[in-house]
Amino acid sequence: MNCKLGLLFTALLTVVPLAAREKSDVIVMKNGDKITCEVKGLRSDTLYVKVDYILNTISVDWNKVDHIDSRQLFLVRTRDGSVYKGTLSTASSPQARPLQIEVVEVPDKPVVLARAQVVDVDQTSTNLWQRFNGEVDLGFNFTKGNETSQYSLATDVNYVEEHWSVGTNYTSNLSASAGANVSTRNELTFSGQKDLRWNNWYYTGVADFLQSSVLGVQLQSMFGGGVGRNIVNTGASFFTVYGGFAWQQINYQQAIQPAQTQQVTSALVGTQVKLFRFDRTTLALNANVLPALNDPGRLIFNFNAAYYVKLWGKLKWNCSFYSNLDNRPPPGFATSDYGATTGLSVSFGNH
C-alpha cells in the first residue's frame, strides 16, 4: 500500500462539505439556562450542540440537562441495546421532565425513555454526508542528534444507520534514521456491524490489510466475521467481545529471505474497550487473537490503544500504541512489531 493513497483519502474526507441543519433545537439545563441550537449528537455523557453565535461545537454535560426538544431526526441507543429513530421531546408530564425523554418515531409512535438510559444519539438525515463521523490524526517527531524522523497518519470514518453501521480506518507510520533502513507500517481496515434481534447482540465482519517492513510482510490480507455482544454500554464506558473465524493470506518480502505465501485459517476472538471522562479524555483499546486452525500452536495477535485529551473545540492531543505478533513466522523473519506515536487529531461530523 502506498502512503500517498492514505494522504489522498484523508484530503478527500476533509474537504467534503457537511451540510448544517437549522438551529431550532432547544435544550434546558437543570439550573434554568435555555439554549437554542442544533443538537449534533450524544456520546460518552457529552451532548454536542452548535450555536449560531459560537464558532465551534460546544459540549454540554448530559447529566445536567433537564429536558430537550427537537424536530430533527435522530438515532437513539439505550444501555440495553435498543435503538429508536425519531424526533426528541420532553415527556408530557412536568414531573417527568428531568428524568425522561420522549422519542417520537416517524409513524407517530412515541416511546418514553429514562434519560439515564440514553447513551448515544446520532443525527440522521436524507442527506448522505450528515451521517458520517470521524477524525484525522497526524504526528511528527525529529531528533537532531541521530537524525531520526518519524511521522504517523491515521484516519477513521464511520457511517451509522438504525440497525447497522460500517467504518474504515487507515494508519501509516514511517521511521527514518541516518545509517539505518527506513521502517514503514501501513494498515487499512474495513468493518461492519449488523444488530441481531436480541438486544446488544450483533453480527460483525472485518477486512484488514497490513504491510510491515519490520515483520517483513509485504501484504497480509485478513477476512473475518462472527457474532458479538456488548457487555457494558454506559455514558462513561463501553465493553464488547466477539468471536468467529478468519482467513489470512500473508505475502512476505523476498528481499529479506525467500518465503512462500502462507494461507492461514484461524479462529477469531476480539474485544473493544472505551473509557470516557466528560469532554476531557478518551481511552480506546482494541485486541484481536487469531489461533491458527490449520497450523496448531501458531498464534497471531493484534493490539491497538489510543488515549485522547481534548485541547480546544474538535482539536485533541493523542498518544497511541500498536503491536502485531506472530509467534511462528517463516525462519529469518521477526515475530513482533510495535511502536508508539503522539500527535494531534481533528474530528469531523456530529461529535
Reported as a single tens digit per residue, the pLDDT across 223-273 is 999 999 999 988 788 999 999 999 999 999 877 677 889 999 999 999 999
Under DSSP, the state recorded for 17 is -
Look at residue 18 and tell me if it is in a domain: no
Say yes or no: 242 and 223 in one domain: yes
Q: Which of 78, 99, 124 is the last residue of a domain?
A: 124
Residue 168 to residue 181: CA distance in whole angstroms? 30
Q: Which CATH number covers residue 87?
A: 2.30.30.100
Say yes or no: 77 and 204 in one domain: no
pLDDT at 244: 97
Look at residue 47 and tell me if it is in a domain: yes
Residue 208 to residue 322: CA distance in whole angstroms? 15
Helix ranges restricted to H, 85-127: none
Say yes or no: 307 and 247 in one domain: yes
The per-residue pLDDT for range 290-339, each reduced to its tens digit, is 999 999 999 999 999 999 998 887 889 999 999 999 999 998 899 999 99
Domain count, the chain: 2
pLDDT at 186: 96
Q: Which of 107, 124, 141 is the last residue of a domain?
A: 124
Specify whether the CB–CB gap between 338 and 321 falls below 8 A.
yes
Say yes or no: 188 and 233 in one domain: yes
Question: What burial letters (b/e) apply to 157-180, b meaning 16+ CB within 10 Å?
Answer: bbbbeeeebebbbbbbbbbeeeee
- Say which residues have a Cβ less than 8 Å from residue 33's Cβ, sequence separation at least 6: none
Look at residue 157 and tell me if it is in a domain: yes
Say yes or no: 170 and 267 in one domain: yes
pLDDT at 49: 86
Q: What is the domain range of residue 270?
A: 3-13+130-348
Say yes or no: 213 and 85 in one domain: no
Say yes or no: 183 and 294 in one domain: yes
Say yes or no: 99 and 7 in one domain: no
Exposed, middle or buried: residue 350 (CB in 10 Å: 0-12, 13-18, 19+)? Answer: buried
Q: Which of 73, 96, 124 is the last residue of a domain?
A: 124
pLDDT at 296: 94
Residue 199 to residue 166: CA distance in whole angstroms? 19
Say yes or no: 71 and 170 in one domain: no
Helix (H) or strand (E) run with residue 9 in it: helix 3-15
Low-confidence ranges of the chain (pLDDT < 70): 1-22, 90-102, 104-109, 125-130, 145-146, 256, 350-351
Q: Which CATH number covers residue 291?
A: 2.40.160.40
Q: What are phi and psi of 274, to 5 degrees?
A: -135, 135
Say yes or no: 259 and 225 in one domain: yes
Say yes or no: 170 and 310 in one domain: yes
Look at residue 28 and tell me if it is in a domain: yes
Say yes or no: 270 and 179 in one domain: yes
